[in-house]
């Protein structure tokens, strides 16, 4: 059975929530899907130890209480079902949703790069540690090192400290000059300036990168390099992330053009495919403020209210400037491409070492020869790593986009016969 929607939105983070409310307020019937149990995306992730900003709670409540918005949690897209319908599935059933307009708000994930010891128990992504703590992971009394690049390091360290952890080092790979240049621009965005003061930590070191995680059965310490000096620190956890990578797989599968490894959109947040829009981190990284305004623009346009959308352009320009500054000053050092040793695992799911993957010239060739990317994460980690390490471009995923029940897939046959 196909459930029609005027506007179908994939992803209930800041962009998806704001898009849903904007479209619904313009009179559209909105269906909002997200594969997480609670709305908010990664940046507003809820949990037993999470402190959700008031703005996030207000937006979520407004969406949940709006008569024209139907939200489905724990629901993911399985396949395309014709020109304007998707096959989706939750824990209990699969069904078809047809739409007049589609907005992709699929967000981003952490870029994790391989280095010796990165698969030891106790090593996570920087955002991953945040998510675990918000979900209830006890870290009180633990010694934590946070390493990688970008403001997420400070946010992750802040969450850990707030929950009783001892942060022994925050290692930012960007040079001191780049970090200082970014900090000097923060007064243009007063809220961000205040936020930086609250997250400041005297254990923060710029121009410092991870060399190795140390330990046998689990993490015992880390080795860091700063200039020509190397230091080793004992720790219980390492949170390591090298920025974000846009979740573009669904957009690729739907035929949307990409640019700079993100979904390409115009001034109306429209993709290259008619009737499909995109907003938030899947179109580039700029934080929740940019995602919110982009979502509003996309929601208004999808509902046919271009006048309301255009009024939001100045706000988008303001936060796009912040995004541009962020991306300019936290560019990854090319030395990070050489962290892995030949025997360092690159694909953790299938135990494929770096040397085995590096021997090939394309992602497809490496995947066929080594099973890299064919494990449980379906290349979400190793595929992104090879994109950075070797400049390999990922291919568009083929349906089904993940493990799916047979009875869900059988609905595709029915949709073909009925003309969807």
Strand partners, 89: 76, 94
Same domain, 253 and 363: no
pLDDT (0 to 100) of residue 50? 67
Rounded to whole angstroms, the Cα distance separating 46 from 37 reads 9
Domain count, the chain: 3
Same domain, 220 and 120: yes
Neighbours of 294 (CB within 10 A): 32
Please give the angle made by the CA atoms of 284, 276 and 374, to the nearest 5 degrees. Answer: 65
Q: Is residue 17 a part of any domain in this protein?
A: yes
pLDDT (0 to 100) of residue 286? 86
Q: What is the pLDDT along the chain (420 residues), one digit of tens a residue?
A: 456 899 999 999 999 999 999 999 999 999 999 999 888 877 777 666 667 788 889 999 999 999 999 999 999 999 999 889 999 999 999 999 999 999 999 999 999 999 999 999 999 999 999 989 988 999 999 999 999 999 899 999 999 999 999 999 999 999 999 999 999 998 888 888 777 877 788 999 999 999 999 999 999 999 999 999 999 999 999 999 999 999 999 999 999 999 988 999 999 999 999 999 999 999 998 889 999 999 999 999 999 999 999 999 999 999 999 999 999 999 999 999 999 999 999 999 999 999 999 999 999 999 999 999 888 888 889 999 999 999 998 788 888 888 889 888 888 875 555 545
Q: Which tokens in the block code for residue 97?
A: 């949703």
Rounded to whole angstroms, the Cα distance separating 266 from 310 reads 12
Q: Residue 321 burial by CB count (10 A; 0-12/13-18/19+): exposed, middle or buried?
A: middle
Residue finishing a domain among 190, 220, 242: 242
Rounded to whole angstroms, the Cα distance separating 87 from 75 reads 10
The dihedral of CA 299, 302, 303, 308: what is its sign? positive
Q: Is residue 155 a part of any domain in this protein?
A: yes
pLDDT (0 to 100) of residue 191? 82
Same domain, 315 and 262: yes
Same domain, 15 and 159: no
Rounded to whole angstroms, the Cα distance separating 188 from 272 reads 33
Q: Residue 229 burial by CB count (10 A; 0-12/13-18/19+): exposed, middle or buried?
A: exposed
Enclosing domain of residue 312: 2-109+245-326
Same domain, 238 and 255: no
Q: What is the 3-state secondary structure (H, E, C) of the chain?
A: CEEEEEEEEECCCHHHHHHHHHHHHCCCCEEEECCCCCCCCCCCCCCCCCCCCHHHHHHHHHHHCCCCEEEECCCEEEEECCCCEEEEECCCCEEEEEEEEEEECCCEEECCCCCCCCCCCCEECHHHHHHHHHCCCCCCCCEEEEEEECCHHHHHHHHHHHCCCEEEEEEECCCHHHHHHHHHHHHHCHHHHHHHHHHCCCCEECCEEEEEEEECCCEEEEEEEECCEEEEEECCEEEEEECEEECCHHHHHCCCCEECCEECCCCCCECCCCCEEECHHHHCCCHHHHHHHHHHHHHHHHCCCHHHHHCCHHHHHHHHHHHHHHHHHCCCCHHHHHCCCCCCEEECCCCEEHHHHHCCCCHHHHHHHHCCCCCCCCCCCHHHHHHHHHCCCCCCCCCCCCCCCHHHHHHHHHHHHCCC
Q: Is residue 289 a part of any domain in this protein?
A: yes
Same domain, 173 and 251: no
Q: Is residue 14 a part of any domain in this protein?
A: yes
Closest by CA to 75, choosing from 96, 57, 102, 56, is: 96
Q: Is residue 117 a part of any domain in this protein?
A: yes
Q: Is residue 232 a part of any domain in this protein?
A: yes
Same domain, 313 and 193: no
pLDDT (0 to 100) of residue 397? 83
Q: For the chain, first and last CA: distance in Å?
A: 11
Q: Is residue 61 a part of any domain in this protein?
A: yes
Give the CATH number for residue 40. Answer: 3.50.50.60
Q: Is residue 70 a part of any domain in this protein?
A: yes
Residues in the chain: 420
Residue finishing a domain among 296, 326, 356: 326
Same domain, 54 and 142: no
Instruction: Please check whether residue 140 is in contact with residue 236, taking contact to mean a CB–CB distance below 8 angstroms.
Output: no
Same domain, 152 and 44: no
Same domain, 86 and 32: yes
Same domain, 122 and 235: yes
As a dihedral over the C-alpha atoms of residue 306, residue 309, residue 313, residue 316, rounded to 10 degrees, the angle is -140
Same domain, 117 and 233: yes
Residue finishing a domain among 222, 242, 262: 242
């Amino acid at each position: 059975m196909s459930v029609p929607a005027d506007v179908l939105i994939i992803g209930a983070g800041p962009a998806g929530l704001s898009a849903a409310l904007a479209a619904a307020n313009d009179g559209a019937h909105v269906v909002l899907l997200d594969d997480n149990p609670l709305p908010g995306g990664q940046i507003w992730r809820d949990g037993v130890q999470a402190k959700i900003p008031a703005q996030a709670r207000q937006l979520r409540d407004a969406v949940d209480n709006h008569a024209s918005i139907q939200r489905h949690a724990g629901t993911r897209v399985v396949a395309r079902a014709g020109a304007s319908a998707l096959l989706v599935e939750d824990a209990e059933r699969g069904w078809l949703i047809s739409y007049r307009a589609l907005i992709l708000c699929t967000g981003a994930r952490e870029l994790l790069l391989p280095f010796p010891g990165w698969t030891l128990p106790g090593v996570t992504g920087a955002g991953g540690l945040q998510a675990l703590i918000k979900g209830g992971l006890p870290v009180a009394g633990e010694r934590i090192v946070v390493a990688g690049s970008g403001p997420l390091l400070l946010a992750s360290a802040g969450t850990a400290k707030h929950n009783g952890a001892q942060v022994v080092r925050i290692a930012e790979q960007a040079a001191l000059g780049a970090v200082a240049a970014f900090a000097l621009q923060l007064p243009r965005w007063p809220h961000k300036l205040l936020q930086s003061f609250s997250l400041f930590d005297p254990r923060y070191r710029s121009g410092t990168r991870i060399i190795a995680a140390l330990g046998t059965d689990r993490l015992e310490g880390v080795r860091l390099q700063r200039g020509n000096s190397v230091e080793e620190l004992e720790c219980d956890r390492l949170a390591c992330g090298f920025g974000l990578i846009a979740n573009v797989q669904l957009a690729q599968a739907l035929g949307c053009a990409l640019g700079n490894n993100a979904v390409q959109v115009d001034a109306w947040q429209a993709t290259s495919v008619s009737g499909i829009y995109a907003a938030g981190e899947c179109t580039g990284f700029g934080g929740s403020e940019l995602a919110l305004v982009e979502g509003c623009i996309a929601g208004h346009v999808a509902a046919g209210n271009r006048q309301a959308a255009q009024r939001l352009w100045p706000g988008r320009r303001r936060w796009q400037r912040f995004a541009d500054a962020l991306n300019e000053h936290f560019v990854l050092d090319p030395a990070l491409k050489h962290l892995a040793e030949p025997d360092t695992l690159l694909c953790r799911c299938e135990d494929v070492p770096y040397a085995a993957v590096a021997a090939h010239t394309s992602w497809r060739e490496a995947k066929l020869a080594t099973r890299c990317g064919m494990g449980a994460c379906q290349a979400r980690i190793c595929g992104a790593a090879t994109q950075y390490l070797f400049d390999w471009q990922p291919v568009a995923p083929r349906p089904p986009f993940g493990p799916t029940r047979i009875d869900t897939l059988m609905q595709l046959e029915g949709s073909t016969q009925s003309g969807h």
